[in-house]
Chain A
Amino acid sequence: MFSSLRRILAVFLKELIQMRRDRMTIGMILAIPIMQLVMFGYAINGDPRNLPTVLRVHEHSVFSRSLITALENTRYFRIVASTTSEARASTMLANGEAAFVLTVPAGFSRAILRGERPSVLLEADASDPAASANAVSALQQLPASVFQQDLKDAGITLPPSAPPFDIVVQRRYNPEGVTALNIVPGLIGVILTMTMTLVTSMAVVKEFERGTMENLLAMPAKPHEVMFGKILPYVLLGYAQVVIIFAAARFLFDVPMAGSYSGLLLIVGIFIAANLSVGFTLSTLATNQAQAMQMTMFFFLPSILLSGFMFPFRGMPNWAQWIGEVLPITHFLRLVRAIMLKGTPIAEMADELWALLAFTAVMWVVAMLRYRRTLD
């Protein structure tokens, strides 16, 4: 046990010295967060449909039924639950099970019939403004037309100038709908994915390319010792990146921090481990640094395109969502956005956390099995 730790330390110190001497890589790793933050200042708007919606209907009437039918007909909303409990609806919004909560007040139809123009409340999860924007504007078309037939059937004519009810939209978590608020936490995931995977895969392949692996293998270091020792310095580097991004998030983009830092650091740690194990696995497949680079890109592209970073996750076709679910960054993004923007406690996001841990564990096992103990 202790001798294992001592050998891990040996590899760690060696790697640390080598890392420190490689100014280019360090510079790149620290500059990338800043570059990307600037580049991704703008977001790309998707048009996701079938967004999960929770209904809180306090009145069951012709009007509420028509409204719900019309809501579903817009194809932007998919009703996933119906509840009268405000707490339950809020939780679902906070942990991402629902993107919207629609509340129809009691006495809705009576108020309409009396021409009092009652309000329907739509609470939207605006932490990803691009995802909710189109749905919100589709909903705002409804009041003018949705009850025409019902009112005619009831023999009532209201003044044509104003719609019979209002929709009040409440954007939760990101009231101004600022894209940067969504992008910046996402960038933590993207930057860590890219740099962590790349540096580890290179660090291992380099040993083979320079021939130093022959020596390392001839000495009494076990695979997991080499792996831990090599990975640790990059974990430190990963945290350095996170600090840079946080500083930028605070001072350049005014991104709030609603949740706990300790929860965030924990998740960042697991996520870094996940990416390092991917890097290590890639390094066992590649025979030179150029190949390691290509493979990293191969992993990186779906990570930005299919994770919900670039395009709203719910706007993607099913097959793309399935791929996305496998990628660690997808779960990481959900966790980080929930923690930073919504202040959701980690305990409520247990599923995402487990998914992240499971991915990491599987990758570590694959990496260990694939690590070459001989030169064959």
Chain B
Amino acid sequence: MTTVYAIDVKGLTKRFGNKTVVDQFALQVPKGQVWGFLGPNGSGKTTTIRMLCGLLRPDAGEGTCLGLDILHEGGLIKRQVGYMTQKFSFYEDLSIRENLEFVARLYELKDQRIAVDQSLAELGLTQRQRQLAGQLSGGWKQRLALAACVLHKPALLLLDEPTAGVDPQARRDFWEKIHLLAGDGITVLVSTHYMDEAERCDRIVYLAYGQILAQGTIAEVIKASGLHTYIVSGGDIRGLARALHGQEGVTQVSVFGTTLHVCGVDREALDRAVAPYRAWPGTTWTVAEASLEDVFIHLMAPFRDRIQG
């Protein structure tokens, strides 16, 4: 069976007890693309990814990964998927090299020694290969985990917050590598909380409380939100923020260093609300496009009273 989609699922549902954590999740990711998976803590990203690679059994739904049935062909899917867990889950009591060797053996790679050597060299860990993985710093652990999960040249990469706690340089290297892999035809679904990383993706999917609230390119998502924004700079913006807070027509006010973002859904209502403050001493007002973060916070607003862990 050939399909243009690396991931093609619908109706995926997962309950823990009587709590529905993922609800009727449907997604179609074309091969060779990099998709970002966003959403607040506890929104069900990890749970969804685990269902995709056969680690959790969905309570309902169906679909395919790489053209293989996720419900019945989990064994075959596992050979072609690289899954990087959110929490470091390689062996801390094995050395860096031993961890990679273990992975190479499990996937029965040809030329294991060469593959491991190459991976170590790319990582820049050749000198430290005998060190125990448990002694690596958090960021280095992430880098090792990524190297290990691409060792077997998977066709689909599922990365769960791969860059949490990683420094900017390493993060940049990491994304370069992701796009290199995508260029070779690998499909990537990567969950993240970073806006700049979302912007590096072909498309994004925004999940909240188990449901997809938005998906598409960044521009599409921003447009679909229907959010209008003023950016205010100069003057006492903190005082201004306090004054604007809770005004009718203003959905969010947030300070970004020396600028203030003021957003609303209805253009006219927003204009009416800010009109009395436009003369606030020392401020300059500009109409701008909402940022991705503004959009996400806006999407979250209806759920703000729901507490989820």
Which residues of A are at the interface with B, using a C-beta cutoff of 8 A?
3, 6-7, 9-11, 13-14, 17-18, 21-22, 210-215, 217-222, 373-376
The contact sample of 25 A-B pairs, CB cut-off 8 A, is: A6-B105, A6-B108, A7-B105, A7-B106, A10-B105, A10-B106, A11-B106, A13-B102, A13-B105, A212-B91, A213-B89, A214-B50, A214-B55, A214-B85, A214-B87, A214-B89, A215-B89, A217-B55, A218-B83, A219-B106, A220-B78, A220-B107, A373-B74, A374-B54, A374-B57
- Residues on A with C-beta less than 8 A from B78 are 218-220
B55 contact from A11, A14, A375, Cβ within 8 A: A375
- Residues on A with C-beta less than 8 A from B180 are none
Known: A10-B102, A14-B102. 13 other contacts (CB 8 A): A13-B105, A14-B98, A18-B91, A211-B85, A211-B88, A212-B89, A213-B89, A214-B50, A218-B54, A219-B103, A220-B79, A375-B50, A375-B56
Q: How far is the CA of A3 from the CA of B107 in the complex (A)?
A: 9
| CB <8 Å contact, B105 and A17 | no
- Residues on B with C-beta less than 8 A from A22 are 93
| CB <8 Å contact, B85 and A14 | no
Least distance between B71 CB and chain A CB atoms (Å)? 12
Q: How far is the CA of A179 from the CA of B88 in the complex (A)?
A: 53
B79-124 residues at the A interface, CB under 8 angstroms: 79, 81, 83, 85, 87-94, 98, 101-103, 105-108
Least distance between A368 CB and chain B CB atoms (Å)? 15
B75 within 8 A of A: yes
Least distance between A98 CB and chain B CB atoms (Å)? 53
| CB <8 Å contact, B75 and A222 | yes
- Residues on B with C-beta less than 8 A from A214 are 50, 55, 85, 87, 89
- Residues on B with C-beta less than 8 A from A11 are 106
B53 within 8 A of A: yes
| CB <8 Å contact, A7 and B108 | yes
- Residues on A with C-beta less than 8 A from B88 are 211
- Answer whether A211 and B108 are a contact pair too, CB < 8 Å, given A220-B79, A375-B50: no
Chain B contact residues (Cβ within 8 angstroms of A): what range? 20 to 34
Q: How far is the CA of A219 from the CA of B87 in the complex (A)?
A: 16
B24-57 residues at the A interface, CB under 8 angstroms: 50, 53-57
Least distance between A24 CB and chain B CB atoms (Å)? 12
Nearest 4 pairs of A and B residues by beta carbon: A10-B105, A215-B89, A218-B83, A220-B78
Q: How far is the CA of A221 from the CA of B108 in the complex (A)?
A: 11
| CB <8 Å contact, B57 and A221 | no
Q: How far is the CA of A222 from the CA of B74 in the complex (A)?
A: 11
- Residues on B with C-beta less than 8 A from A210 are 89, 92
Least distance between A370 CB and chain B CB atoms (Å)? 16
| CB <8 Å contact, A21 and B93 | yes
| CB <8 Å contact, A17 and B94 | yes
| CB <8 Å contact, B56 and A376 | yes
Q: How far is the CA of A222 from the CA of B75 in the complex (A)?
A: 8
| CB <8 Å contact, A9 and B85 | no
| CB <8 Å contact, B81 and A218 | yes
Q: How far is the CA of A217 from the CA of B57 in the complex (A)?
A: 13
Least distance between B202 CB and chain A CB atoms (Å)? 24
| CB <8 Å contact, B92 and A218 | no
Q: How far is the CA of A218 from the CA of B52 in the complex (A)?
A: 11
- Residues on A with C-beta less than 8 A from B103 are 219
Least distance between A59 CB and chain B CB atoms (Å)? 74
- Residues on B with C-beta less than 8 A from A18 are 91, 93-94
